Amino acid sequence: MQPELIDIVFRSQKRRDLLLLLGEEPRTMEDIKILLDVSPTAILPQIKRLTDSNLVIQKNGSYELTDMGEQVFKKVRSLVDVLTLVEKNDYWTEHDLGGIPQYLLDRIGDLKDCNLVKADPSQIFEPNTELLKFFSSSRYLMVFSSFYRPEFLPLYSKLGRLESEVSLIFTESVLEKFLHNYERKIRKLSTMKNTELSVCKDGAKIAELIVSDLGMMVSLFDSQGRFYHEYMCCSEPQAISWARELFDFYKSRALKVEGEKSIDNFTCTSENGAFSESLLLSLH
């Protein structure tokens, strides 16, 4: 964005708010007055500044963005979303974002409406009943986990029986623990027609990601690789869409476990302490 346009947009809060408002759809002066809670006297000079800069045009009694205004709006909205995200909570600056690909980091402002949920210190080793209850009626469920969560197995099985679409990705060490402690349940999951199980190499820099039609949650490690049982959650469509893309990123780097024969292969290799390199794909 050119320096003069940056000055025009960001030097005035009213101009910035007006640009973002018109980015949604054309507005009449009456709309602008009501939605921005301003008087015509206060907003008309700002409208003139934007029209003089070829960012806004008046047409058929309404104000709307020009083609150039549309491009500026996209950049401004993205920046404002990121600033809102950072100002709302320190979580994103205090945790490792290395597990998020660049194209999604560029759109991390889509998560601006996320809220931080902290576990009660006295219950961090107990099942997270809030999460289990929230996702229990999902039409689809996508889970990536590098953190062992045996208490979630009943949720996966329940949704599978209800014919919800369930897609699970575990890191090799997590799958190994599941096979050691719950082999029968994992075998059953792997044979359900609407449930998909995949495995990827250890080394993921996100602890957990859960996405459904109801909402999303993501847990990250801090800069030292520690996990504090905190997660960011949101039910807004743009956050769900962002999280689905992150899940797809990991799914494209995972190996699908297809049926009992594959489970047998993983069980045999896990007995030797680690899965075979030939069975797994790198996350990087």
Element (H, E) at 56: strand 56-59
The pLDDT score that the predictor gives to residue 276 is 45
Cα separation, 112 vs 110, whole angstroms: 6
Nearest to 44 by CA among 35, 32, 53, 54: 32
Cα separation, 234 vs 243, whole angstroms: 10
CATH (residue range 3-79): 1.10.10.10
166 neighbors 234 (Cβ within 8 angstroms) = no
- Show the tokens assigned to 75: 């950049």
Query: pTM of the predicted model, to two decimals?
Result: 0.78
What ranges do the domains of the chain cover? Answer: 3-79, 90-279
Task: Write out the CATH class of domain 90-279.
Answer: alpha beta
- Show the tokens assigned to 151: 């208490």
For residue 161, the Cα-to-chain-centroid distance in whole angstroms is 26
The pLDDT score that the predictor gives to residue 222 is 87
Cα separation, 167 vs 196, whole angstroms: 5
Amino acid at 248: D
Task: Tell me if residue 218 falls in helix, strand or coil.
Answer: strand
Averages of pLDDT over runs of 10 residues in the chain (284 residues) are: 68 88 93 92 92 92 93 86 87 92 94 86 63 90 92 90 92 90 87 90 91 95 83 95 97 84 60 46 42
Nearest 10 degrees: Cα torsion 122, 225, 140, 258? -120
The pLDDT score that the predictor gives to residue 192 is 85
